[in-house]
Chains A and B, each alone.
Chain A
Amino acid sequence: MALQAPMMKKMLRPLTGLLGIALMLGASQAHAVLEVTVTEGVSGAIPVAVAPFEWRGEGEPETRMSGILGDNLHRSGLFEVLREDLPSGATGPGDFIPEPWRAAGAEYVVVGSKRPDGDRVVVDFHVFDVLAEERLGGWRIPVPADMLRRGGHRVSDLVFEAITGDPGAFSARIAFVQVQRDGDEREFRLQVADSDGANPRTLYRSSDPVMSPAWSPDGNELVYVSFENRQSEVFRHDVRSGERVSLARFRGINSAPAWSPDGRYLALSLSRDGSPNIYRLDLQSGDLEQLTRSSAIETEPAWSPDGGTIYFTSDRAGAPQIYRMDADGGDVRRLTFESGYAAGVTVSPDGDSVVYVEGGDGGFRLARLDLGDRRVTRLTDSGNAESPSFAPNGSMILYAISEGTRGVLGSVSRDGRVHQRLEGRDGEVREPAWSPLGE
């Protein structure tokens, strides 16, 4: 469903001042490793009323799906979530009357109910446009009783899409590296968590560095670099089974793994022939093909969504800059010219733009290059930003901010207007990687 024109205008109105909304998720975000704060949002965020979903059964579960929905919509920075002093009683189209909701200041309303059904909970919910006095959508989703948080994210995706026209990315997960330091001892953990930092799982831990996690296109596996054998080595790790296989352990650097969108290849940077070059590893046959041949540093390959192009970093012209080539290594062209340092490129899910780290004025910030008109937009302005990763719906970019001994994650909307911080409860967090959508 497309967004109505007046609403679109409202959403795109330039930010007139910093809208500081501090959100402490506290109790509703049980077992989270990350604490989310919206530091800068869009002025004129859309008011959405989220009524508690009525429980129709004995012993209501503790996890409040409407609470998760409200938190998610708020974190997107696009919505002002109304949860207090709402008209009561409405659960669906049969009993929805727009007037009291309009009086409460809501432009959109989400109501619903849930009931137990064996070992599942069945959730019914509906999204209404108060001004147009019409229902935008209604859904029934069965959720395993022990996966209600997951269900809340699914509800959030559907509501987000009903109102904005863009798919939600709340069901996607994030992988990141967490580092805890105790004197000279350090522990590196490869973590996977829900998009709001809840339900963290440690996939791998080591006293040697772990870096550069990247997802398989089906979201079932991660590739990353581990130094457990006293050199960089690329591993493939099944998220569910925990099975782990070494993919590249040549002499020199084995790093920067990136899975092709069709799942067949891994692009990576190897220095086995003297200096780091980009290679393509066929995951079925094990064949290795060298794509770049220079004595410069060639690294950080990133695939276009159609798999036809590989973007990468090279300092063949002296300083690191972003280049593109065909996926077989042909037609190499330089893309960035604006600054003395450009690296760490990631491609938007629609393939229309790339985001990378730009150095200058003593700091590192994120910039987005529109591949069509070659316009560059600065997305962050201060600090030490790196490791950008697009949300699978393209709405936001997650990245790492280095603050000395602390490392936190930041997120910024595609247009640079909505900013959030995700702080680790425990140690330093870095190198976020947003999973693909769906399971």
Chain B
Amino acid sequence: MNHLIRWGILALVVGSLAACAQPVRDAEDPAEREAREAAEAETEAEREARERREREARGLGEDRRLDAAALDDPDSLLADRLVYFEFDRDEVKREYEEMLEAHAEYLAANPGARLRLEGHTDERGTREYNLGLGERRAQSVRRVLNLNGAADEQIEVVSYGEEMPVAFEQTEEAWAQNRRVELVYDRRQ
């Protein structure tokens, strides 16, 4: 949920900038206080919904850098390079679409860039079958990138199966962290 947190921070920054632009007032009027208190009482679910609306409202009108510097910007969608999967599944979940669109856009704008998609699985099942599953996951990510403008020759798919876990416990959380495709830029532009 990294990017949710990031979007949250972004929203706060934008919000405070907006506040600065307004004339300073000595006292809060009752309507404003009510709004502030309501905002403070906002539940997590409501906050997420609001952030999603804000994100959607921003749409594609936003400026994005499309050169290599964008890859180093921690606030860019391009900083997200992990896609997680459900057990024994290879479909890319909707929540990764926006991030993958940004990567596809970057690849399209930088024809020299080369991306490795490293597919991984959790430890359950046989090692060889998991090698196949890891490749399938990486291929799913590749398809999304291709559909959004990345060229075939820019993307290399490698499966490590269950051989390179990042979490070593035998828990649902650890398994969920290991079921992933990592986006690795071999050449940035």
Asked whether any CB of chain B lies closer than 8 Å to the CB of A341, the reply is: yes
Tell me which residues from 386 to 412 in chain A have a Cβ below 8 Å from any Cβ of chain B.
386-387, 402-405
Q: Which residues of A are found within 8 Å of B127, using beta-carbon distances?
A: 211-212, 386-387, 431
B70 proximal to A (CB < 8 A): no
The complex places the Cα of A230 from the Cα of B168 at a distance, in Å, of: 22
Find out whether the CB atom of B160 lies under 8 angstroms from the CB atom of A209.
yes
B178 within 8 A of A: no
Q: Please give, as numbers and ranges, the residues of chain B lying within 8 Å of A231 by CB-CB distance.
A: 158
B-side contacts of A209, CB under 8 Å: 160, 163-164
- Residues in B whose Cβ lies below 8 Å from that of A232: 131, 158-159
B8 on the A face (CB < 8 A): no
Q: Is B34 an interface residue (CB 8 A)?
A: no
CA distance A387 to B159 in the complex (A): 19
Instruction: Give A431 to B163 CA distance when docked, in angstroms.
Output: 12
- Are the CB atoms of B129 and A384 closer together than 8 Å? no
Establish whether residues A269 and B128, one from each chain, have CB atoms under 8 Å apart when the complex forms.
Answer: yes
Within 8 A of A (CB), among B155-185: 157-161, 163-164, 168-170
Contact call B163/A211, Cβ cutoff below 8 A: yes
| B123 contacts the other chain (CB 8 A) | yes
A297, B160: Cβ atoms under 8 Å? no
Which A-chain residue is minimally distant from B164 (CB atoms)?
A: A209
**Residue among B128, B160, B161, B170 having the largest count of chain A Cβ atoms under 10 Å:** B128
Give Cα distance in the complex from A357 to B163, angstroms: 18
Q: Are B135 and A343 in contact (CB under 8 A)?
A: no
Residues on the A chain within 8 Å of B135, using CB: 252-253, 271, 275-276
Annotate A403-429 by CB proximity to B: 1 below 8 A, 0 otherwise: 111000000000000000000000000
A432 interfacial contact with B, CB 8 Å: no
Contact B131 A313 (CB under 8 A): no
A315 vs B135: C-alpha distance in the bound complex, in angstroms?
14
The total of interchain contacts (Cβ-Cβ below 8 angstroms) comes to 87
- By the criterion CB–CB under 8 Å, are B123 and A402 in contact? yes
Shortest Cβ gap from A284 to chain B (Å): 26
Residues 252-307 of A at the B interface (beta carbon under 8 Å): 252-253, 255-256, 269, 271, 275-276, 297, 299-300
Asked if B126 and A343 make an inter-chain contact with CB atoms under 8 angstroms apart, the answer reads yes
Judging by beta carbons under 8 Å apart, are B159 and A253 in contact?
Answer: yes
Determine whether B36 belongs to the interface, using a CB cutoff of 8 Å to chain A.
no
Complex contact B124–A300 (CB within 8 A): no
Whether the pair B126, A357 counts as a contact (CB closer than 8 A) is yes
A255 CA to B163 CA in the complex, in Å?
13
Contact check, A344 vs B126: say whether CB atoms are below 8 A apart: yes
Q: Return A369 CB to nearest CB of chain B, in Å.
A: 16
Contact B123 A384 (CB under 8 A): yes
Which residues in window 123-158 of B have CB below 8 A to A? 123-129, 131-133, 135-136, 157-158
A436 in contact (CB, < 8 A): no
- State the Cβ distance, A390 to closest chain B Cβ, in Å: 16
Known: A359-B125, A364-B125. 7 other contacts (CB 8 A): A211-B127, A211-B163, A269-B132, A276-B131, A315-B129, A341-B125, A384-B124
The interface of chain B, by Cβ under 8 A from chain A, is 123-129, 131-133, 135-136, 157-161, 163-164, 168-170
9 pairs of A and B residues whose beta carbons are closest in the complex: A297-B132, A209-B163, A344-B126, A343-B126, A404-B170, A256-B128, A276-B132, A299-B128, A405-B168
